[in-house]
Structure 1
Amino acid sequence: MSAHESLEIELKFDVDAGLPAPDLAGLVPDGRVGEPATYLLEATYYDTADTVLARNRTTLRRRTGGTDGGWHLKRPSTTKAARREMSVSFDDAPADDGVPTVLRDQIASIVRLGELVPVATITTDRTVTSVFDAEGRELAVFCEDLVSAESLLPGGEVTRWAEWEFELVHGDGALLKRAKAFLREAGARKASSVSKLARAIGSTPTDVERRAAGKKSTALELVLFDLAAHRDALVAYDPLAREDAPDAVHQMRVAARKLRSVLTSYPLVIAPEQTRPIADELKLLGEVLGDARDLEVALETNELMLAREHAPGDLVGVLIEGERIRHERALKSMRFALSTERYLALLDDLDHLVDAPTPGPDADSPAREVAAEAIAASYRRLKKAQRNLRDYDAWSPDWVEQLHTIRKRAKATRYTAESADSLRRSSFAEIGAFAKAVQTQLGVFNDTAVNRARLAEVAERTPLSPAAMFVLGRIDAREEARGRKAVKAYRKL
């Protein structure tokens, strides 16, 4: 099943029914407008009974009529005045098969185990006019809509209204700005709702924005602010990770790790019996995401290394095609894990933790004091691991393993320090910056160690041509040099 995703950038206005549309040709120098086309659009909108999609500014509909009949999922975007739209045509999703799986996966982290049911039906009598530039390129479409909507929620009503939409096709922000002023002058008003569905079912409650912890905040307020932020990041990256968007798996794993770090760094702020099971589940989630992420990094590294060589085909097959297959398998396993009831229950438990925590002994203590103790404890563990490195011979297996321990301790210290960013203490920031620098350099060394182990495995287990073995040796030498350079940079810290 295939889906098409695009960025919808549009303006929406309320208008009086029957208000004549202005001539839009004047928006573009030497521009023109096409012949108006009229369509009857009939849509059914789906959500849970408690409208969790609407609360997350997300809409899911099945629509017939017009030029894009099918299923449409619309979500917020980081681009101003824009929304992300994913669509599946009826050719790819037969009408009687229900919500397409590809769209269900995209909203799984929001809907979870909730049942999707029709919440509104909306019929739109739409007249569409295209705006072209002097070269005949379509810049935008202007829609005059007469809307009739029926809410299917308890106590729902039928409402009718008229609105205008101006959506960019190949136009730019300057055209959008001109169109806004032009249409307002013609009698259009600011839209009373962000979407037709919002107007049909009425306003829905949204999550209250949490205030960042300050000088007088309690430890519980600090922890809850951090947990909410990382929970939101985890949920936001979930659909992107499923489709293997750039850096999405990595960022989702970071969010899971930071959540676990907050829980383990402040063990007495929230009751352990509430946090411990969640921390254990987050550890498992991090491992699942880590498998996919590590193979993603390995594949990218192999591509960069071979780009500098005239590598024979058998080596390319092992280091590129073979790793790509392993990566795809890891992604498949990750997607399965993200679709299990266990993972969805973890998201529910995180919500409950943020909304209804069981206070621990340190809950009402000043945030600065509790954070200072947590950061200091983590920093002491890092320094102890660094001192213990002296007990091993340089470049011995035990010495290399201790560098790995130092890297993990540095990451823990960094995350703990960053959890107190909102307190704005320079000493916390300095420790976090130092830990980040250690983690970065030893992370490079760890990557090279992992890569070299994989190269050695390939050399031992895979029949390769002499030319391939020669190139493999060159790559191994470069990785060894890169690792030694990273260790040297670490020692300077």
Structure 2
Amino acid sequence: MATRTKETERKYEPVGEGLPAGVPGVTVVGSGEDLLLDAVYHDTADLRLARSGVTLRRRSGGADAGWHLKLPIEGDARDEIRAKKDGKRVPKELADLVLGLTRGEPLAPVAHIRTRRKRWELLDKNGKVAAELVEDDVEAQTLGENEQMKAWREIEVELVAGGREVFETVERTLGRPSKAPAKLIRLLGERIPKRPKADGVTGYVQQQVEEMRRQDLRIRQDADDAVHRMRVASRRIRSVLQAHRGSRTLKEELRWLGTVLGEARDLEVLYGHLRQSIGELPEELVLGNVRQRLTETFAPREQQARAKVMEALRSKRYFALLNRLETVKLRLNDPKGRLRKTKKRVAKAWRDEANNRGSLHDVRKAAKRARYAAEAAGKEKLARRMKKLTKRLGAHQDSVVARQELRAIGIQSHLDGDNAYTYGLLHGCELHRAENAKKALRRKV
């Protein structure tokens, strides 16, 4: 069974031998507990985890011996997922979490790091453990055909109950944080291939691919909003490819992924919207077993949609898509003209809707494409306009979908002999909401 903790720490360069004396504002406890830590790090042959700032290790020694998977969050913070297993094989629950990075490539030992550690507790003025300070003597060795050895000393301060003000206090003595990376990254150094950087539209696409990788890790941990954020990143890439005549096959693969993610996300949004709508009604108008029926309707569908997402994210098709996205380069031909054409699609969609040849949902899709193409081109004003438009159109579309669902639930409730009054009432509220949204669009667009 894996456990999760969040760690926030900073590294510092040693200042002579032993712990710096007289750190103002904290009380140092102990004379330095001695620990011997022995860790073997695992990665793919081309170091895919290290390239993304992820480390996977099996460590002995200390209170947290076992397997550790460390995932970057932001700044000094990381998620650490621990599996207390003694075997040399990577635990399946940890290997599954990084499938979006390894893409099925085997994980094997790439480094061996031994650390002689001295550890102190830092207490705040109330006697609580604010942080831990450790001084490490590190001996590190790469594993494989070209073995290398390195040794160094470093100091780490990790927050326990204290806030970031502890860092400010400690740094009066230790100085500014070291720019040295994590131990594994420091050892591997130039062996970690760097992703080429690009500017402009191609750079924008690379940012969205990176966002997809981040959300892949979060989806596998069942994190809130992760499916939505990956879906948005994939949509942004597809919109740019559509605007600039990118690969048709790549666009179709992104459409496939977006459809799978969309089913799970749309159910999440719809369920939340209906629960909120019921909560806004006076209790005397909520007749029958409304809330329970809503749960019974959506819970199995959400589970099925989640299962489809995970099946897709474990597939060779998805791994192939990620591999292609990491190497995509756009050859821009008349970028201003392509952006103008994308804007014209919005105007055409409006005309088609007015002449009953299209829908407001078609306008919304065209506006989203224009928004993301404008973002990629650095046209912030146009992107903001399209964002406001899609938000208003989204409110209308949410109402359309909600009415369809309420009608289906209401019918089934009636057939089961339950009171269907509340579903009809909500249906009327949604219809009124849609009409107001449509009027607002006509006034402002």
Scaled by the length of structure 2, the TM-score of the pair is: 0.91
Q: Is the 8 A contact 1:151 1:200 kept in 2?
A: yes
Alignment partner, residue 201 of structure 1: 188
Deviations 1:342-381 (Å, cap 9, x if unpaired)? 1011111112324xx7x5xxx4x5xxxx222112222222
- Matched length: 441
Q: SS at 2:98's partner residue?
A: helix
Matched, 1:303 2:275: yes
C-alpha separation in 1, matches of 2:243 and 2:251: 11
Residues of 2 paired with 1:490 and 1:302: CA distance? 23
Corresponding residue number in structure 2 for 1:314: 289
Aligned residue type for 1:407: R
| Deviation (angstroms), 1:328 | 2.4
Shift in Å, 1:118: 0.3
Partner of 2:327: 352
Distance in 2 (CA, whole Å) between partners of 1:382 and 1:183 is: 58
Aligned equivalent of 1:212: 199
Among 97, 108, 116, the residue aligned to 1:117: 108
Residue 27 of structure 1, CA deviation: 3.2
Specify the SS of the correspondent of 2:426: helix
- CA 1:100–1:480 in structure 2 vs 1: closer, same or farther (change >3 Å)? farther
How far is 1:264 from its partner?
Answer: 1.6
- Please report how far the alpha carbon of residue 24 of structure 1 lies from its aligned counterpart in structure 2 after TM superposition: 5.8
Residue in 1 that maps onto 2:72? 76
Q: Are residue 240 (structure 1) and residue 218 (structure 2) matched?
A: yes
Offset at residue 238 of structure 1 (A): 1.2
- Write out per-residue CA displacement over residues 98-135 of structure 1, whole angstroms, 9 at most, x where no aligned residue: 32333223322222232211011112222221111232
Return the match for 1:254 from 206, 215, 232: 232
| Alignment partner, residue 384 of structure 2 | 433
Alpha-carbon deviations, 1:187-227, whole Å to 9, x = none?
A: xx9647312212333344453563533xxxxxxxx3x2232
Given that 1:14 and 1:192 are in contact with CA atoms closer than 8 Å, whether structure 2 keeps it comes out as no
Match of 2:47 among 51, 74, 83: 51
For 2:180, the aligned partner's letter is S
Alignment correspondent of 1:376? 340
2:130 is aligned to 139
Find the counterpart in structure 2 of residue 419 from structure 1.
376
CA shift for structure 1 position 34: 4.3
- TM score, norm. by length of structure 1: 0.82
* Larger mean Cα displacement after TM superposition, 404-413 or 463-472: 463-472
Secondary structure, aligned partner of 1:419? helix
Q: In structure 1, how many angstroms separate the alpha carbons of the residues matched to 2:410 and 2:210?
A: 44
Question: What is aligned with 2:63?
Answer: 67
Q: Give, in whole Å, the separation in 1 of the partners of 2:434 and 2:380.
A: 27
Structure 2 counterpart of 1:282: 254
Counting only pairs closer than 5 Å after superposition, residues 82-121 of structure 1 correspond to structure 2 as: 82-90=76-84, 94-96=85-87, 98-121=89-112
Matched residue type, 1:54: A
Mapped partners of 1:135, 1:469: distance in 2: 59
Is structure 2 residue 412 aligned with structure 1 residue 461? yes
Runs of 4 or more above 6 Å deviation? 464-467
One-letter identity of the residue aligned with 2:385 = F
Say if 1:11 and 1:327 are closer, same or farther in 2 by CA, change over 3 A.
Answer: same
Q: Which amino acid aligns with 1:100?
A: P
TM alignment of 1:2-21, pairs within 5 A: 2-14=2-14, 19-21=17-19
The answer to whether the 8 Å contact 1:12/1:191 transfers is: yes
Match of 1:183 in 2: 174
Q: Does 1:294 align with 2:288?
A: no
Alpha-carbon separation, structure 2, partners of 1:190 and 1:443: 46
Q: Is the 8 A contact 2:240 2:369 kept in 1?
A: no
How far apart, in 2, do the equivalents of 1:308 and 1:34 lie?
A: 57
Change (3 A) 1:488 1:130: same
Could you say which residue in structure 1 is the equivalent of 2:303? 328
Q: Deviations over 1:18-67 (max 9, x none)?
A: x1223466432xx4524643322111101112222222222111112211
Is 2:23–2:169's contact at 8 Å kept on the other side of the alignment?
A: no
Aligned mates of 2:295, 2:415 — CA distance in 1: 14
Name the structure 2 match of 1:425: none
Opposite residue 448 of structure 1, the aligned amino acid is S
The match for 1:486 among 431, 437, 443 is 437
* Pick aligned residue for 2:312 from 337, 351, 358: 337
User: Are 2:28 and 2:120, in contact at CA under 8 Å, matched by a contact in 1?
Assistant: no
Structure 1 pair 323–25 and aligned structure 2 pair: CA distance change class (3 A): same
Looking at structure 1, the residues matched to 66 and 288 of structure 2 have their Cα atoms a distance apart, in angstroms, of: 44
Cα drift, residue 6 of structure 1: 0.9
Q: Is the 8 A contact 1:15 1:163 kept in 2?
A: no
Percent identity at matched positions? 32
2:380 counterpart of 1:405: no
**Separation (CA, whole Å) in 1 of partners of 2:92 and 2:270:** 30
